[in-house]
Amino acid sequence: MSTRGFTGRRPGADAARRLPPGQYETRDFPVLSLGPAPVIDLAQWRFTLRHGARPLASWTWEQFQALPRTRWQGDIHCVTTWSKFDTEWEGVTLDDLLQAAGVAAPTPYLLAQSYDDYDTNVPLAELAGGRAMIATHFGGQPLTAEHGGPARLLVPHLYFWKSAKWLKGLKFTARDEAGFWELRGYHMHGDPWREQRFSSDD
């Protein structure tokens, strides 16, 4: 006797449960960037952790490869209303990065800063505890340039604009500082389950 009817997925109900309000499921992986992918030479690539203007720690690409690696699988949600299920990522969690740097978080706020001058704010609480990583791989392959390679931030439980591509560093800030989209009317926090799209949303 086949048990498929009981164990098989029911995409409609499953998708409905996994989709935050106002989102639809896509199987594609849309590319959303302000401009073309910056050309980044791995020999020149640096990842720097800062407290304000002061560097706390910095890694070359080779040094970054030696950090502990974590895999994560789950759903991502873009504010333009697409969601993608079961995406597979690999990278270095912020917890492992801070530990490797021998640094205790000096403030509760961070600004992710990118090679294309994009930036976005994320509170430490949303990045720590294994909730975010600096991802270098997607679907088992090195991250492509269009999706933010060599390395991007991945904060899957917030709208995807918070997942800064072409990441060059994370800066601890004294206050919660707005980044590129937050300065242009997008929400300071960006929780898809609370539909925090625009600064006027609760």
Ligand X SMILES: Nc1nc2c(c(=O)[nH]1)N[C@H]1C(S)=C(S)[C@@H](COP(=O)(O)O)O[C@H]1N2
Q: Candidates 16, 32, 34, 125: give the one binding Mo ion (CB under 5 A).
A: 32
Query: Which residue's CB is nearer to ligand X, number 16 or number 34?
Result: 34
Listed ranges 92-100, 121-129, 153-161, 168-176: which one lies at the site for Mo ion (CB under 5 A): 153-161
Residue 190: name its binding partner from Mo ion, ligand X, none (Cβ under 5 to 8 Å by kind). Answer: none
C-alpha angle with apex 18: 15 to 22, nearest 5 degrees? 85
100-133 as b/e, with b when 16 or more CB fall inside 10 Å? beeeebeeebbbbbbbbebbbbbebebbbeebbb
116 counts as binding ligand X under rule CB under 6 A: yes
Enclosing H/E stretch for 124: helix 124-127
183 counts as binding ligand X under rule CB under 6 A: no
Q: In degrees to the nearest 10, what's the CA dihedral of 120, 103, 45, 190? A: -20
Query: Which residue's CB is nearer to Mo ion, number 5 or number 21?
Result: 21
163 counts as binding ligand X under rule CB under 6 A: yes
List all residues 6 or more positions away from 141 whose beta carbon is below 8 Å from its beta carbon.
none
Sites of contact with ligand X (CB under 6 A): 30-34, 78, 114, 116, 118, 147-148, 160-161, 163-166
| Residue ranges in contact with Mo ion by CB under 5 A | 32, 161
